C-alpha cells in the first residue's frame, strides 16, 4: 500500500503471538533496518537471484535482442538486474527506465546500481507500470520491454493486465520483448497424496469420532479453493502416476497485446488405467524471437525437447496442481478425457469430463452456494487424516472423563474441536473464539452442528479477541477446558513456534480459567535434528556477482544464510522440508526445550547435545514442535519432518560442515555439536546458537 507520495509507503507488520497487525512507514531516505526484514527474507527474491539458469537465459536473450541504442522499459525491476543487463548491452548508451512499485526493492535497486557504477544511466521510477504516463514519467514510448513478472502459475502477478497497459500506453507498435513468449503445459495424474489434500468428504469417512466436517450436502461449504496450487511435484514423483502425455494448454506472446479471457478444449488420451486426481501444469519461456533460448519449470520426469540446459531446484517457481473435485475421475487406457481450460487476467482453471461416466461428472459438478469456508489444502488433509483425528479423540476423551457440565473454550480457529467436544460431552457448553475465521466460523458451525445432529445452542461463537473476553461472555462461569489444535487461519506460512500464540492467549485468559482448568495441549516440545540440504542451502546463499553485477549489498535485507560473514546470522525460515529438494537426516532427533502451557507464558531456553548418526555434509538444522495433548504424555501430535502437512523451521549455517558419528573413520568429520535456543515471549522470536565441537 503506497501513500500519495512515491517516496513513502506503508507496510503491514504482523505480531505472530497476538495476531495483531500494525502499519510500518517506510521512507525513501530511511535506513534499511527500519522496515520489516523478515518479510523480505521469506520472499522469493534471494532464491530467484540465485537461479543461475534463469539469470544466464535472460542475459543471453537481452544481449541477442538489444543490438543498438534504444529505449528499454523494465517492468517489475526488482534489484535492477535486467535493467543493468540492457544498459550494458547498449554500451551505456540509449535509455533504460526501471519501474518498480515496491519501495524497499527500489531502495535496494538504487544501492545495487550505485555499487556497480551504473546509477546515472538508468532512470528508476517508484510506481506501478499502469501509473506511468508518457510525457510525464517517461519521455517516449519504449522500443523494448524486458520484464519478469511471473509466478508459478504464470499469470498470478498480473502479467496480462500489465502487458495490456504497456502495449496500449508505454510501448511502440511491434516492440521487441524479453521474454518473447510463454507456453503453459499440463498432464493429468493419479496421486493419493494430492487427493488427500482436498477431498475431505471421502477421507473423513469411517472416522472413529462420529464427526462429519463435510457431510453430504455440505461438501462445498467446507472445502479447498478451486485454484492452482504451487508445489514441488518432483517431491511426490515416486508416488505420482502420469495418466497422459504432456499437452499444450495456452500460449501468451509478450510482443503483442494479450486478451483478458481465453479458453481451449482438449481431448487427452489416457496412457494408462487409473483415476485422475489432478492436473499438474508448468510453463516454458521462449526468451528470444528465434527460439534458441528457453527456460522451463517442468517437473523432473518431463524431458523438454526445447530446454537448452537443465533447471536446478529452485523455490521461486514450482509446478502447479489443480485438484479434480471429489475422488477423481476413473479412466482406462486409450479413453479420452475432455479438458476445458480457461484463463482470466490472473489465473488458469480447468474442468474435466469423460464421455462414458456422465453420472460421476454430475456428482463432481457441485458448485459452492452463497457461503463457503475455504481451508488450505494441508489443513483439509489434516482434518481427513484418521491418525490425527484418533489422537484428538483420545485426548478429548481423556480430559472429559469424569467431568460433566464443563465449560470449554476453543481458543483457535479449529472447526473440528467444537464439534468433537460437543459430540463427547454429556451436557455440552462450548465457546469458540475463531480469531481469524470470525463470522465465517460461526456460519459454518451453525450448519455443521445441524448436520451432525447437535443442538446449535450448545456452541456459542464470540466474535471478539481473547483480550476482550470477560466473565460476561461465559455467563459468569469459569472455563474448565481451554483447548486448541492449535491452528490460526491465515498464518500457514509462520514458523512452528509462532503457533505459541496459544500460550499467549492462555496467559491472557488466565482470569477466566477455573483453578483446576485443563489446558490442551498441555505442553509443547521444541525438537530438532541435523540435515543435509544442498539445494535449499544453495538457493539461500549470499549473492556476490550475478552475470557480472555486484549484488553483495542486498544479502542482509533478503535474508541470506550461506557464506555469511563471520559475525552475521541468517534467519530461520519456514519450509516443508520434504519439498526442499534433496535432503537427508544426519543426527538423532533431540529435544531443545519445553513450553509448559499450564503456566503463564515466559522466557524459555534450552541446550542440547547433537549426536550425529551418519557421515555427511551438514547444511543446518530442522526444528519443529510436538504438541503433548495431556498431562500423562499419552497423546503426542508431531509436526516433524516426516509429517508432510506441517511446515518446519529451517536454520541454515553459513558454512556447511562435514559431520559423522563418533566411530567415523573420516578424520575431517565433526562428531558432536550443541544447539542452544532462547524463546522471547515478547515477540515470539527464537534465537538459535550453534557450536560444532
Q: b/e per residue, 193-213, with b = 16+ CB within 10 A? A: ebbbbbbbbbbbeebebebbb
Q: Three-state DSSP class for 434?
A: coil
Q: Three-state DSSP class for 48?
A: helix
Among residues 100, 131, 157, 173, the one annotated as catalytic is: 157
In whole angstroms, what is the distance from residue 126 CA to residue 131 CA? Answer: 10
Judging by DSSP bridges, how do beta strands 319-323 and 278-286 pair with one another?
A: antiparallel
Q: Three-state DSSP class for 640?
A: coil
Helices 81-89 and 52-65, axial angle in degrees (round to 10): 30
DSSP 168: I
In whole angstroms, what is the distance from residue 294 CA to residue 181 CA? Answer: 10
DSSP 185: E
In whole angstroms, what is the distance from residue 152 CA to residue 307 CA? Answer: 17
In whole angstroms, what is the distance from residue 544 CA to residue 550 CA? Answer: 6
Calculate the CA 52 to chain-centre distance: 23
Closest by CA to 396, choosing from 519, 500, 314, 503, is 519
In whole angstroms, what is the distance from residue 604 CA to residue 371 CA? Answer: 43
User: CA of 83: how far to CAs of 51, 88, 132, 154, in Å?
Assistant: 17, 9, 17, 21
Assigned C-alpha cell, 587:
543426527
Residue 21, class by beta-carbon neighbours within 10 Å (0-12 exposed, 13-18 middle, 19+ buried)?
A: exposed
| Residue 636 CB neighbours (<10 A) | 15
Residue 430 contacts residue 460 (beta carbons within 8 Å) = yes
Q: Three-state DSSP class for 271?
A: coil
Angle, CA of 348, 350 and 354, to the nearest 5°: 165
Is 32 noted as a catalytic residue in this protein? no
Residue 274 contacts residue 194 (beta carbons within 8 Å) = no
Among residues 28, 63, 148, 485, the one annotated as catalytic is: 148
Residue 37 contacts residue 557 (beta carbons within 8 Å) = yes
In whole angstroms, what is the distance from residue 6 CA to residue 103 CA? Answer: 8
Closest by CA to 628, choosing from 618, 614, 639, is 639
Q: Three-state DSSP class for 270?
A: coil
Residue 99 contacts residue 75 (beta carbons within 8 Å) = yes
Peptide bond into 185 cis (omega under 30): no
The set of residues, in sequence order, having a beta carbon less than 8 Å from that of 622 and lying 6+ positions away, is 528, 529, 531, 577, 641, 648, 649, 650, 651
Q: b/e per residue, 148-186, with b = 16+ CB within 10 A? A: bbbbbbbbbebbbebbbbbbeebbeeebbbbbbbbbbbb
Closest by CA to 543, choosing from 51, 102, 151, is 51
Is 148 noted as a catalytic residue in this protein? yes
Length of the chain: 693
| Residue 269 CB neighbours (<10 A) | 14
Please list the active-site residues: 148, 157
Amino acid at each position: 500500500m503506497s501513500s500519495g507520495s512515491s517516496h513513502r509507503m506503508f507496510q503491514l507488520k504482523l505480531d505472530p503471538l497476538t495476531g495483531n497487525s500494525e502499519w510500518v512507514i517506510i521512507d525513501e531516505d530511511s535506513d534499511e533496518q527500519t522496515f520489516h526484514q523478515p518479510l523480505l527474507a521469506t520472499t522469493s527474491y534471494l532464491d530467484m537471484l540465485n537461479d543461475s539458469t534463469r539469470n544466464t537465459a535472460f542475459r543471453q536473450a537481452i544481449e541477442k535482442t538489444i543490438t543498438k541504442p534504444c529505449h528499454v522499459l523494465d517492468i517489475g525491476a526488482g534489484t535492477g538486474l535486467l535493467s543493468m543487463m540492457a544498459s550494458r548491452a547498449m554500451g551505456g548508451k540509449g535509455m533504460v527506465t526501471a519501474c518498480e512499485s515496491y519501495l524497499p526493492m527500489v531502495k535496494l535497486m538504487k544501492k545495487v546500481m550505485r555499487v556497480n557504477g551504473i546509477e546515472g544511466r538508468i532512470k528508476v521510477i517508484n510506481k506501478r507500470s499502469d501509473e506511468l504516463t508518457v510525457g510525464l514519467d517517461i519521455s517516449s514510448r519504449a522500443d523494448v520491454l524486458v520484464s519478469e513478472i511471473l509466478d508459478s502459475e504464470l499469470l498470478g502477478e498480473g502479467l496480462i493486465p500489465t502487458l495490456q497497459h504497456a502495449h496500449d500506453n508505454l510501448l511502440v507498435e511491434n516492440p521487441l520483448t524479453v521474454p518473447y513468449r510463454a507456453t503453459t503445459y499440463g498432464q493429468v495424474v493419479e496421486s493419493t497424496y494430492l487427493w488427500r489434500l482436498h477431498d475431505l468428504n471421502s477421507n473423513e469417512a469411517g472416522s472413529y469420532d462420529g464427526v462429519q466436517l463435510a457431510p453430504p450436502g455440505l461438501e462445498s461449504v467446507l472445502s479447498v479453493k478451486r485454484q492452482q496450487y504451487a508445489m514441488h511435484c518432483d517431491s511426490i514423483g515416486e508416488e505420482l502416476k502420469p495418466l497422459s502425455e504432456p499437452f499444450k494448454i495456452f500460449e501468451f506472446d509478450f510482443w503483442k497485446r494479450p486478451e483478458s479471457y481465453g479458453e481451449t478444449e482438449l481431448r487427452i488420451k489416457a496412457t494408462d488405467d487409473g483415476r485422475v486426481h489432478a492436473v499438474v501444469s508448468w510453463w516454458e519461456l521462449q526468451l528470444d524471437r528465434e527460439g534458441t533460448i528457453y527456460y522451463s519449470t517442468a517437473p523432473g520426469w518431463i524431458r523438454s525437447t526445447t530446454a537448452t540446459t537443465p533447471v536446478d531446484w529452485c523455490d521461486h517457481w514450482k509446478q502447479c496442481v489443480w485438484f479434480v473435485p471429489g475422488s477423481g475421475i476413473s479412466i482406462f487406457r486409450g479413453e479420452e478425457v475432455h479438458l476445458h481450460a480457461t484463463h482470466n487476467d490472473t489465473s488458469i482453471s480447468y474442468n474435466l469430463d469423460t464421455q462414458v461416466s456422465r453420472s460421476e461428472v454430475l456428482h463432481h459438478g457441485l458448485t459452492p452456494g452463497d457461503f463457503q469456508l475455504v481451508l488450505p489444502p494441508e489443513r483439509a488433509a489434516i482434518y481427513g487424516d484418521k491418525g490425527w483425528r484418533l489422537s484428538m479423540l483420545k485426548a478429548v476423551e481423556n480430559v472429559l472423563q469424569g467431568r460433566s457440565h464443563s465449560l470449554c473454550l476453543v481458543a483457535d480457529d479449529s472447526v473440528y474441536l467444537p464439534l468433537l467436544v460437543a459430540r463427547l460431552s454429556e451436557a455440552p457448553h462450548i465457546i469458540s473464539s475463531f480469531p481469524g475465521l470470525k463470522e465465517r466460523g460461526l456460519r459454518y458451525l451453525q450448519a455443521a452442528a445441524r448436520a451432525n445432529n447437535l443442538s446449535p445452542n450448545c456452541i456459542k461463537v464470540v466474535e471478539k479477541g481473547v483480550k476482550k473476553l470477560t466473565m460476561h461472555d461465559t455467563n459468569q462461569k469459569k472455563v474448565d477446558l481451554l483447548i486448541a489444535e492449535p491452528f490460526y487461519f491465515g498464518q500457514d506460512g509462520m514458523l512452528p513456534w509462532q503457533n505459541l500464540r496459544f500460550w499467549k492467549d492462555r496467559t491472557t485468559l488466565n482470569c477466566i480459567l477455573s483453578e483446576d482448568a485443563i489446558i490442551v495441549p498441555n505442553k509443547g516440545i521444541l525438537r530438532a535434528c541435523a540435515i543435509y540440504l544442498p539445494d535449499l542451502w544453495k538457493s539461500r546463499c549470499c549473492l556476490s556477482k550475478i552475470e557480472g553485477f555486484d549484488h553483495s549489498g542486498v544479502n542482509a535485507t533478503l535474508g541470506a544464510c550461506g557464506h555469511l560473514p563471520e559475525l552475521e546470522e541468517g534467519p530461520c525460515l519456514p519450509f516443508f522440508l520434504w519439498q526442499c529438494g534433496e535432503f537427508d537426516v544426519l543426527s538423532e532427533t533431540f529435544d531443545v526445550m519445553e513450553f509448559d502451557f499450564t503456566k503463564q507464558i515466559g522466557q524459555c531456553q534450552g541446550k542440547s547435545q547433537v549426536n550425529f548418526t551418519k557421515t555427511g555434509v551438514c547444511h543446518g538444522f530442522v526444528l519443529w514442535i510436538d504438541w503433548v495433548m495431556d498431562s500423562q504424555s499419552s497423546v503426542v501430535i508431531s509436526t516433524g519432518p516426516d509429517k508432510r502437512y506441517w511446515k518446519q523451521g529451517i536454520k541454515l549455517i553459513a558454512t556447511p560442515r562435514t559431520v559423522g558419528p563418533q566411530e567415523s573413520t573420516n578424520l575431517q568429520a565433526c562428531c558432536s555439536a550443541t544447539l542452544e535456543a532462547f524463546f522471547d515471549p515478547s515477540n515470539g522470536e527464537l534465537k538459535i546458537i550453534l557450536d560444532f565441537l
